[in-house]
Amino acid sequence: MPIKEKSKPAKRDRVTIRTVAAHAGVSVAAVSKVMRNAYGVSENLRAKVTGSIEELGYRPSRTARGLRGRTFTIGLLLVDIRNPFLPEVIDGVNGVLAPSHYQAMIGVGEGRMQLETSLIESMIDYKMDGLILVAPRLPTEIIAEFAAQVPIVAVGYHDPKAKTFDTVNTDDQRGAEIAVEALLKCGYRDIEMLSLGAREGHKVSVVRQREIGYRRAMLCAGLSSSAPISHIPVHSPKREEAMRVFLARSDRPRAVFCWSDLDAITLLSAAADMGVRVPEDLAVVGYDNSTTAALSLVNLASIDQSGRELGEAATRTLLSRIEGRSDPEHLLLMPSLVNRKSLIRSG
């Protein structure tokens, strides 16, 4: 008996946006509105279109979208993937994008201007609809040049005078003031700030803004003449060595405000190795309220700037730019202190 050949499955016709519209019983324009999460889309319409997309297995062509002016992709440029604060920002971005059919493509600039520039140019070449830059090192005029080509929102970049791109920040000056005020309230007067190397960052960066806030709080407390800032190298092993030198100083302060949890946690680790008790010998306040800071073995008091909220606000701001808004927006979110054992005095 001859063996029957298996019949080949019928070739499935390519599903297009028109196929989705016909299946859902709505217009092509309505499908487009749902896909870009446009303002005013009803839940009923969204459910119809989303249901048809899932049932038909519709996957829009990014090439075709780019030719029409939309690719529904967002470029997310991070300064350093090792910072435990950044996953919160990414979660915030993805949370807003999830119902909009946009997707975020991540690049890591590693704090190097040349690499940042190259990544931004690549994102523009791939016709991404907008970019979110987290703590970019680029000067305003260069970001403005890129913003003439694609909508941009900068996070961790304090330039309220920027006209062609938007900024979303925590009030970093106020955050540093809150940290100093908390230490003063606990009775500490000998307070030092642990900051990045003097050549790192620029006047619009978060680290410099936090230095301004620290100095202002110390001035208000009548301690302006004793408001020292220790600058720590960025890279290992010099970074860890500098912290050990700081801890071993005969004139070591009783309290320290660290510009970020990244350095505060490293400092706590070095202190434990060297027998420096926290907070009995040294009170420590960090900045970011990262998930690591909350671990029971770390227990770091920290300024909460809600990374998720920053990511959400930046994404909503970017989407409104993409939809045609031209007036610049500069959002400033309020930080708060999360008190933990590195600050609280026993007894």
Q: Give the burial class of 311: count Cβ atoms within 10 A of its Cβ; 0-12 exposed, 13-18 middle, 19 or more buried.
A: buried
- Token pair for residue 266? 């490293």
When pLDDT is cut at 50, 70 and 90, the band that residue 225 belongs to is confident
* Tens of pLDDT, residues 156-182: 999 999 999 999 999 999 999 999 999
Coil/strand/helix, residue 278: coil
Name 286's bridge partners. 302
Count of alpha carbons within 13 angstroms of residue 285, beta-carbon side: 30
Q: What is the pLDDT of residue 107?
A: 93
Query: Where is pLDDT greater, at 70 or 311?
Result: 311
Q: What are 243-272's pLDDT values in tens digits?
A: 999 999 999 999 999 999 999 999 999 999
What's the pLDDT tens digit per position in 40-95? 788 888 888 888 888 888 766 554 444 445 788 999 999 888 888 899 999 999 99
* Residue 131: exposure state from Cβ atoms within 10 A (0-12, 13-18, ≥19): buried
pLDDT above 70: percentage of residues in the chain = 90
Higher pLDDT, residue 123 or 14: 123
The Cα–Cα gap between 271 and 279 comes to 10
What's the chain's average pLDDT? 88
